[in-house]
Each structure stands twice: as C-alpha cells, then as structure tokens.
A and B are shown apart, each in its own frame.
Chain A
Amino acid sequence: MDQETPNARAFEFAGNWREFAPIAFTNLLLTIVTLGIYTFWARTRERRYLWSHTRFIDDRLEWTGTGLELFIGYVVAILLFFVPLALLQFAIQALAIRGQDGAAALLFVVLYVAILYMVGLAIYRAMRYRLSRTYWHGIRGGSDDQGFGYAVSHLWKTIVGSMALGLLVPWAMVNLWNERWNRMSFGSYQFESGARVTGAVIGRYLLYYLVPILLFVGIAVGAYFFGPALSGSAQQMQVSLIIIGVLLYIGFFVVLGLIAVTFYAAYFREVVGNLSLGGLEFEFGARTKDWLILFVVNVLLVVGTLGIGTIFIGYRNWAFFVRHMQAYGMLDLDEFNQSTTREPKQGEGLLDAFDVGAF
C-alpha cells in the first residue's frame, strides 16, 4: 500500500452530522443527568469520533485520551490552583475591609499576575496533552518541556503586548504561537514554527484598532449635521433616538466583529503557513469569508435551536479546521518513530478551569 495519494488533499474530514447526532444527543442527556460530571467522558467520545473521521495522507487519526484522565485533571486543577486563589481573594477582601488598601492592591496585582501565568501554563499544557493523545500511524506527539518557561514568556509578552495601547498584541500572539509550537514534536520529528508579523496581519489589526475611533467621529459629525433635521413631538424624537442608538450599538459590534474576523483569518493563515514537521509544510486556506460563514451559521444554529445546537459547535469547528488544513511535502516514514516524550498523566484540567481555547 503506497503512502502517496496524488490529487487528494492531505487532510480530509469524512464525518457526517447525522452519524454524529446520536453521540451529541446522548452526551447531552448523560451530562444533564450526572449534573455535568459526564462532560469529560462526553468530550472524549466526541473527540474519538472527530479524530477517527479525519484522514491525514493515508490513514485516520486516533484519539486515545480518556474521560477519567480529563476528570482527574480537572480535580487536580481545582485543588492546586482554585482553592489557593479563593483563599487569596479572601485575604484581599479581609485586607480591604481593614482599610489596608495598599496591601490589598499589592495582593490584587499578585493575584492578577498569578492568574495570567497560569493561563499561559494552561494553554501550553492543554496543547501538549492533546498532542500526546493524538496518534497517527501508531505514533503520537508531545513535548518534553513542562511549559513553565513558556508560561513566564506568556506572562510578560501579554503584559508588553497590552502596553503601547495594545498595538503590540499581534506581535505577542505570533511570538507566543512560535514559542508554543517550537517546543512540540510528533514522533521523532520536531515542529518548527517561524511565523512573523506580516504587513497583512498588522494592517488588519490597525484597521480593527482605528475603526472604533473613526466610527465615533463619524457619528459625532452625523449627529451635528442631521440631528436638527429630526423633527416631531418630543415622544417621536425619543423613539427615533432610541432606535438610532440601538442600531448604532448593534452596527458597532457587527463592524468591529467583521474586522476582528479579517484580522484573525490573516493571523491564522500566517501562523499555520509557517509551521512545518519533518519534510511537511502546513497551510491553512480559510479566508475571511469562510470564517464569517462559520461564525454566522454557528450563531444561527445556537439561537435557532434555543441553545441545543451548541452540542454541534465542536463538530462544526473541527470540520472547518480540517477542511481548510493543507500539507505539502514528504514525511520519511523510515525515520518516523515513536515519540520519546513523557506522557502527561492528567488531562487539560487547568484549561477547563480557565475556560480558554488551546489553539
């Protein structure tokens, strides 16, 4: 059986929502009757389905994570991080109530820094966990790095990124992406990521940054010229003002959301496009329009089903991701041996607890 499949995409998603629906609905049912504890097993079932319906080159992916390890990871995260955080919060309140504002403020800063550090650690660890449970050709990914150094980097780059009025955010995002992936491996091959802040990325970010200001000026000018043209009774005036206000409010977020999507599309194309593994180069083909359709349909799906559609969101996002992933080049299978990295024992507990995404 040959490894080459000419004229076919390297990635293919062969799932189908009718096949997935029984999994999604029974997951929902079991999660409800177990007061949420089944979530971890539900997520495992969902991933097993999605991974086993994803073809890469000549074989399907395999998810070997278990619900139990996700559950243990969650419990560990609660005990190690959230109990101390709650105590710290308690201490802040106790200090503030005693009028020790300075000490309270200091402790608040410490708390904030600690949380930011742990968010970085959580993102890194979740990625490492997911790679270590993803098998292809019987080979898994992983990392020997525990992520403490990455978390420090995440901490200071996030802080620096938000300085200069947030203008350095794209730099921080791209940099951290490289740092994360350069520490990861799959089998005997190391991932290499050399993404840079390109003109397209920074340009769209600047657009995102400037549009609120332009909109605000535009509205002020509009109000100045067209305000007097509005006439009628006081009540009519009030009604039309409310309508205009609501429209502007919605419009603001729609426009801002649109530009945020254009930025994210450019960012994701850039970072995935500079990722390589062994002799393979990756590429992500989704344009702004594709992302937009994904988001809009996701929202309609959730709203239109009064929230029940949420159970299909993970499926849709994965399908979107796989359908737009591309890989070129060759992977030398003779050199492709099992990963020697340490397998993490627990799941992505910290990440669950912080409620942030891994990619």
Chain B
Amino acid sequence: MSALSEPSVRVWHYDGASGIRRDPMMVLAGDGFVLVEPDREDGPYAFADLIAQGIVNGHPRFGLAKRTGWSMTLTEAAPEEIAARLPGARRYGGVIDRIGLWPAVGAFTAVSALAVLGLMTMPSVVARMIPRSVEARLGSLMVGDFGERACEDPAGAAALQALATRMQMQDGVDLRVVDVPMVNAVTLPGGHVVLFSGLLRQASSPDEVAGVLAHELGHVENRDVLESLVRQLGLSVVLGGLDGNVGGYTNALLSASYSRGAEARADGFAIDALTRAQISPRPTALFFQRLSKSEIKVKGADALLGYLASHPMSSERERRFAASAGKAATAPALDAAQWQALKGICGAGGGTWKRSRLGF
C-alpha cells in the first residue's frame, strides 16, 4: 500500500463496471497515481490518460482514456503537486483547443473561402474533364425516346431540320420536340435539346423559336448542363452538414448566381448565332416581353427577385436582344408552310396529353 504521506485528495469514483460509487483517496505514486480505499487499491493510472470532463456541480471531473464510464470527481481542492499535473479542460474540440478560438475562426474562414472559391470554379474544370462519350451516355440515359410523347410528324420533322440547318446546328446535337404543354425548352447532357410543344404553340413566329433554340445551343456549346450537375452534386455534399434550411438556401443562392451567369452567356451565344443566320432578334425580344408580363411583378422587389432567379429577368433579356438588332437585312427563319408544319409536329392532338401523366 502506498504511503499516505504522499500528496492526496479525496475523490468520488466510478469504475465503469458497477454502478456503486466509491470514495477513495487519489494518491500520487511515482509518475502516476493510485486510488486508495481502506481495503483496496486501484492503479496505477497515468496522468496522461486523464481526460478533463469539465466542472460538474462545482467539482472538476475526469475520465480515463479507453475506459468509458470510469470517472473521478475531485471533492476538494487538490494539493499543488496533483493539481499541476491534471489536464486542462477541453472546450471546443481537439484542434481548436490547441490553437485557440480566434486563430481557429480565422483559419476556418480562410479554408471555407477557398472551398467556396473551389466550388465556384472546380465544376467547370471537372465537367470539361468528363469525356464526351460518358456525357452522351448519361444524356441518353436521362432522355430515352420519350415514348408516346415524342413528336415525329414527318413534315414537322423536316421543318425542324430546316430550322436546325439555318441555325448552323453542329452534328451530334439531338434536337427533338416533345408533347409537353410548357412554354419552355431544355438542354440535357450529351447535346440533347428538347423543345416543348407548349413553346411552339405560344410562339407567334419561327424567329422566336429560332432565338430559343439558339439559346439552348449556347448551353450545348458551353457544356453548361454537365457543369451544373457536377456543381449541384458538390454543393449538396458540402452544404449537407448545415442544419436543414440554411444549407438549402445557401445552395439555392450559390447555384442561382452561377446559373444566371450561364444563362447570360447562352444569350450572348444566341445573339451571335441569330446575327450569323441573318435572323432578326426582335421577335425573340418580343417573346421575352410577353414572358415578363407573366412574371410576378412586385414594385421594388424586382431587383431582389432578379438576384434570386436562376435566369436573368425577362425584361433584362428583352432589352439585350432588342439592342442587338442591327441594320443588316434579315429573313424569317422558316417560310409560312414550314412554320405551319413545325407547329403541327405533334399531330392533330398536339398540346393535349395523350395519356394521364404522373406528377413528381
């Protein structure tokens, strides 16, 4: 038994095996300490294995490394020889406790800023590293053949091909019309451009369709879709750690701000393509003007909405297309007969659903 002349302090102790509390004396013994009771002695234990658990009910409590449940609570002030060797409290977690709160905040801020910067630039790099063949396979996986919704009226298809030729569409781009009553068009990975029948019905001239098509071809050229997929994946993994909505909002804000940039670039591409094809950009401007009337207009909130939207405001795009109109001679994108054929590409029932749809 250790001599009780060594420095000692009374502790409460649980051994982690039984629920019974012991009241031994903690006694210095060589490099470590032992827990001494009248009829037994535990240890020796190393000071290095002690883990400070903070002050519990006014008394400092310590655990032991690799012995969950083992604890020791000092019930009185420890003598200097013992107190000096007890570990300091952990507060924020390993690294932060070592370097201090404010240096850690600074370091984390710097790393986070770099990470955000990386997230803004990496996706375009990664997207460009993905081979075209992989992108094409992914695209055809997503697109499929649209089943009964694909619009394949022969005369309409010929008109669509004529429009594509006029817009100098590259080989390998797959352009289709699908019977979906939405005034929209989408570009999917692998150069699949899909025009919805709702757009054809809404458009009042072939030049408008040409403008929208040119915009989508801009996305194909810039590989925007793949990039946004990569970005979305990266953002959702990184921001997933944030609690619920905060992560979601940050994600939406970051991706929207990126997407507005991509949309603006695609508009630039479209304006150039229209100029090259000698098609007037004015009808496309009018198309956006009509769209902007259907957008929510709240006075003063315009700017805010514009910032949150994934596309630039229609009114802004209208001005840009209108401003690009030059003095050069232009000709309609399609003649009247071709335009009628294109509008009828989905057959007589075009624009209505051929079968019940499943909503998601």
Residues of chain A at the chain B interface (Cβ within 8 Å)? 1, 14, 26, 29-31, 33-41, 44-45, 48, 52, 55, 59-60, 62, 64, 67, 71, 74, 78, 90, 92-94, 96-101, 104-105, 108, 135-140, 187, 333-334, 336-338, 343, 353, 355
Contact = CB atoms under 8 A, between A and B. Distances in A.
B241 A99 contact: no
Given A60-B56, A62-B53, A98-B144, A36 B246 contact: yes
Interface string B1-28: 0000000000000111111110100000
A60 B108 contact: no
Contact of B71 (A1, A97, A138): A138
Contacts of A337: 17-19
A105 B358 contact: yes
Contacts of A336: 18-20
A36 B242 contact: yes
Contacts of A36: 239-243, 246-247
A37 B241 contact: yes
A39 B101 CA distance: 16
6 contacts: A36-B240, A93-B360, A137-B14, A138-B71, A337-B17, A337-B18
A333 B17 CA distance: 12
B68 interface: yes
A30 B147 contact: no
Contacts of A138: 14-19, 69-71
B299 interface: no
| Max count, chain A CB within 10 A of own CB: residue among B69, B91, B357 | B69
Given A35-B112, A35-B242, A187-B19, A52 B54 contact: yes
Contacts of B69: 135, 138-140, 338
Given A74-B241, A96-B358, A48 B108 contact: no
Interface string B319-360: 000000000000000000000000000000000000111101
5 A-B pairs with least C-beta separation: A99-B147, A138-B14, A36-B242, A336-B19, A98-B144
Nearest to A67: B93
A336 to B, nearest CB: 4
B16 A338 contact: yes
Contacts of A98: 144-147
Contacts of B20: 137, 333-334, 336
Contacts of A35: 112, 115-116, 238-239, 241-242
B104 interface: yes
B68 A64 contact: yes
A272 to B, nearest CB: 23
Contacts, number: 141
B241 A30 contact: no
A357 B237 CA distance: 22
B142 interface: yes
A135 B68 contact: yes
Contacts of A338: 16-18, 69
A37 B111 CA distance: 12
B171 interface: no
B165 interface: no
B244 interface: yes
Given A1-B21, A26-B101, A338-B17, A104 B358 contact: yes
A99 B237 CA distance: 31
A332 B54 CA distance: 29
A29 B54 contact: no
Contact of B109 (A33, A45, A99): A33
Interface residues of B, number: 56
Interface in B224-264: 237-244, 246-247
A93 B229 CA distance: 15
Nearest to A97: B144
A99 B148 contact: yes
B183 interface: no
Contacts of A38: 108
B294 to A, nearest CB: 23
Contacts of A74: 240-241
B108 A34 contact: yes
Contact of B105 (A14, A33, A333, A343): A33
Given A14-B57, A67-B93, A338-B16, A99 B356 contact: no
Q: Which of A36, A38, A90 has the most CB of B within 10 A?
A: A36
A101 B108 contact: no
B149 interface: yes
A30 B18 contact: no
A88 B168 CA distance: 37
Contacts of A136: 19
A165 B26 CA distance: 64
B57 A60 contact: yes
B93 to A, nearest CB: 5
Given A35-B238, A78-B240, A94-B144, A30 B19 contact: no
Contacts of B143: 97
A62 B63 CA distance: 10
A73 to B, nearest CB: 12
Nearest to B359: A96
Contacts of A353: 240
B93 A41 contact: yes
Given A41-B93, A94-B142, A137-B21, A99 B242 contact: no
A94 B243 contact: no
A262 B74 CA distance: 45
Contacts of B15: 138
A354 to B, nearest CB: 11
